[in-house]
Structure 1
Amino acid sequence: MIRTIYGTFDGDKWESISQICFKQNFREEGYQEVKATPGDYGIEGFTRTGKVFQCYCPDESYSSNELYEKHRNKITTDLKKLKTYESQLRSFLGDTKINKWYFVTPIYGKNEIVAHCTSKRDEVKSWDLSIIDNNNFEVIFEDISFLHPHLNLAIDSTNQKINLSPNEPITDTDKLKWKGKEITLVENAQRKHSLRFDKNTPNVDKRIDDLTEKTVASFLGGNILLRMWQNEYPTEYEKFLSIVSLVENEVVEKCMFPVQDKNTLYFSFKNLVEEKLNATFPKLEQQMIMNLTNQVLADWILRCPINFE
């Protein structure tokens, strides 16, 4: 599995979604899928305008260097198949000559892969194959953005769950900068978290600080997630705002009545949000549900919807 901002993918899921996007994006160019059986000829499909596509998804998450090596080796191996299976490919292509060979994978490893593509382009041209348009042939590396504008349609039609996630984690520097600008909100969080503890709790100050750190991280990371969701799924995002607003009204009302155990009340709010999100958004992966739930609770702690009496 490999993680992207649009969710997690394995080889089968990536190929399925890529094929849907290729068929939609290149319909007017006569896109034709090439099945992997009875033989793997190194291409997933082609258009009558000379574009050929090969998609690849790593089995697991790798470092940048490791991912670069995986990409480099896969490109090298699959391009050799143009030479090995020239006659078989010519039977598919007919009069069409390949002018662009696309390697489509979820994420980049290193920019050096572009230089490797250029080197392999020149090597393929040197083979002087009958299926290659030597005057215009290019080897092109593309990531998940290449599948737009039909990526969301493909994910939805294959019943794959959505799991958006930011590319980079929230750093201590990010949290410090935000806390420096929002002192009042941080004080709100510290005060409210302190009420969740029994008066005899040991090391309570450190526990309050730790909870406040988690609240800030959930709020900042959740806001990035919400912006991504708004851009990619605006209708679902608006529905989320509506649901959260309704639940918030209920939370505000419940907070008007004093309770003995503030921590139990807090977790009842968390469970309520998670239940509502699961019921409303069945196509979201559980990890995204949890991240959204944590963002909502963090927002309520930093502002005043959760205000323990």
Structure 2
Amino acid sequence: MSSSFKDAMDGTAWEDYCEKILRIHYGVRSFTSVPHADRGDHGLEFFANDGTLFQCYFPDPSCSMEDYKLRVKKKINDDLNKLIKNESGISLLLDGLVITQWLLLIPSVRSKDLISYCNAKTKSFLKKAPSFINKNNFKVRIESDDAYPLEKHKARILIESTIDFPVREITQEEKDQWKSINTNFHDNLIRKCGKIAPSPDAMVDSLIGDYLVLEDLIVAYREEFPELHKEISEMVAANLSILKTNAFFSKEDPAELVMDLLKKNRANVSSLRQKISMQNSEKFSIGFVSKWIAECKMDFILS
């Protein structure tokens, strides 16, 4: 694996990359990803039906060898202690699965001392190991993505490929149906677009189409790429919050405010680690603006 590919990562990107590798390796029936909100508390990120607990760690690539070894050893020690401390919660997650190895995945194993340290930790950990550990067959191990040569290349292709869900053409019949069902939202669009655009009727019609396309994309991304969907939603929501706060201190033309928000959405969506197509990116950017205008979240621009 090219070092530049991994050097450009941070801890979150490394974790996402490792998850892709392991999902490819094990398949959906034999692999479980612990939700992000709980990972740090329990000291594990993933587990597999072959009895492996996984943790990921991305040490600072620029640190010295001595500092590197200290950091990795601390990570191993701290997370093994979390297994003991959180025995009951982890047992519920594992649901009877017996664990035979705990594996730390790092970008590269830079010292044989870390292998020796894992051997020593295996012996000391087994003296106080929680009930879900196989005390007769258990190892603490450290590996890099090189342990999965085929899977790592497939994972990189997934990361570097561009996601592009087809965007369908919204018919006038669908727009008219939306107007009849969402009369309040439609009234909001008419009222606000009258303040924003020189041709409000055309803008209303366009934004209804963008709203409906966004709903399609949200469903597709939420089902296929839930973490990416969450990342996009949080980014654009933050943009709206920033714009609303700024509006308390300076009065701008409503059209300029909306354009500023659209630019921020475009910039954030285009900066995602996972590439998405230009068409999907644009539809997310304008789609969220249309959703906010329709659903009364941008009244501040008219005040």
What TM-score, normalized to structure 1?
A: 0.48
The normalised TM-score by structure 2 is: 0.49
